[in-house]
Amino acid sequence: MRVRPILLATLRAQPTAVFIARLTITAVAAYLLALRLPAAQAPPLLAPLTALLVVQYTLYRTVRTAIERILSVLAGVVIAVLVSATLGFSWWTLGVTIAAALVIGYVARLGDHLLEVPISAMLIFALGAHTPAGALDRILETVLGAATGLVAGLIASPVHMSPAQEAIAELGDRLGAMVDRMAERLAGHPGGEVFAEMLDDARMLGGEIERTDQALSQAEESLRLNLRAAALHPMGIALRSGLETLEHSALTLRGMVRSLADRERLPGSAAVYDAEARGRLADALREVAEIVRAFATLVRAESHEEARACAESLRSRLQEGRGLRDEFAEALPPWTSARSPEWRLHAELLVHLDRLLDLFDSEHRAQARNRRRRPVRRGFPRTPRGLNARARRS
Answer yes or no: is pLDDT of 387 > 80: no
Answer yes or no: is pLDDT of 96 > 80: yes
Domain definitions of the chain by residue range? 15-156, 161-393
Share of the chain above pLDDT 70, in %: 78
Query: Mind listing the pLDDT tens digit for each residue in 321-369?
Result: 999 998 888 877 666 666 777 778 888 889 999 999 998 888 766 665 5
Query: Which residues, in sequence order, are CB contacts of 84 under 8 Å at separation 6+?
Result: 93, 125, 130, 131
Residue predicted with more confidence, 375 or 353: 353
Report the CATH superfamily, name and number, of domain 161-393: Phosphate transport system protein phou homolog 2; domain 2 (1.20.58.220)
Q: How far is CA 107 from the centre of its chain?
A: 32
- Residue range 198-210: average pLDDT? 83
Answer yes or no: is pLDDT of 384 > 50: no
Answer yes or no: is pLDDT of 128 > 70: no
Cα separations in angstroms, 188 against 182, 184, 255, 276 = 10, 6, 21, 11
Answer yes or no: is pLDDT of 386 > 50: no
In the three-class reduction of DSSP (H, G, I as helix; E, B as strand; rest coil), residue 340 is classed as coil
- Residue range 145-166: average pLDDT? 79
User: Would you say the pTM of this structure is higher than 0.85?
Assistant: no
Answer yes or no: is pLDDT of 70 > 80: no
Positive or negative, the CA dihedral 48, 50, 52, 54 is negative
Q: How far is CA 360 from the centre of its chain?
A: 22
120 in Cβ contact with 73 (< 8 Å): yes
The reported pLDDT for the residue numbered 378 is 35
The reported pLDDT for the residue numbered 139 is 77
String of b and e for 270-285 (b: at least 16 CB within 10 Å)?
Answer: bbbbeeebbbbbbbbb
Query: Mind listing the pLDDT tens digit for each residue in 225-250?
Result: 766 666 666 677 778 888 888 999 99
The reported pLDDT for the residue numbered 192 is 58
Positive or negative, the CA dihedral 26, 62, 210, 181 is negative
Is residue 256 packed enough to be buried (19+ CB in 10 Å), middle (13-18) or exposed (0-12)? buried
- Residue range 91-116: average pLDDT? 85
Answer yes or no: is pLDDT of 23 > 60: yes
Degrees, nearest 5: CA angle 52-57-62: 60
Degrees, nearest 5: CA angle 201-7-206: 20
Cα separations in angstroms, 9 against 158, 173, 190, 297, 302 = 18, 17, 39, 20, 21
Answer yes or no: is pLDDT of 382 > 50: no
User: Which string of DSSP letters, residue by residue, matches 233-292?
Assistant: HHHHHHHHHHHHHHHHHHHHHHHHHHHHHHHHTSSGGGTT--HHHHHHHHHHHHHHHHHH
User: Which string of DSSP letters, residue by residue, matches 312-337?
Assistant: HHHHHHHHHHHHHHHHHHT-S-TT--
| 5-9, 191-195, 300-304: segment of lowest average pLDDT | 5-9
Answer yes or no: is pLDDT of 37 > 70: yes
The reported pLDDT for the residue numbered 284 is 92
223 in Cβ contact with 380 (< 8 Å): yes
| Residues 127, 87: Cα–Cα separation, whole Å | 18
The reported pLDDT for the residue numbered 323 is 92
Answer yes or no: is pLDDT of 383 > 60: no
The reported pLDDT for the residue numbered 289 is 93
**What's the whole-number average pLDDT of the chain?**
77
Other Cβ atoms closer than 10 A to 85: 12
User: Which string of DSSP letters, residue by residue, matches 32-73?
Assistant: HHHTTSTT--SS-THHHHHHHHH--SSHHHHHHHHHHHHHHH
Query: Mind listing the pLDDT tens digit for each residue in 272-301?
Result: 677 888 888 899 999 999 999 999 888 887
Long-range contacts of 344-353 (CB under 8 A, 24+ apart): 345/259, 345/262, 345/263, 345/266, 348/255, 348/259, 349/256, 349/259, 349/260, 349/281, 350/325, 352/252, 352/253, 352/255, 352/256, 352/259, 353/256, 353/284, 353/288, 353/325, 353/328
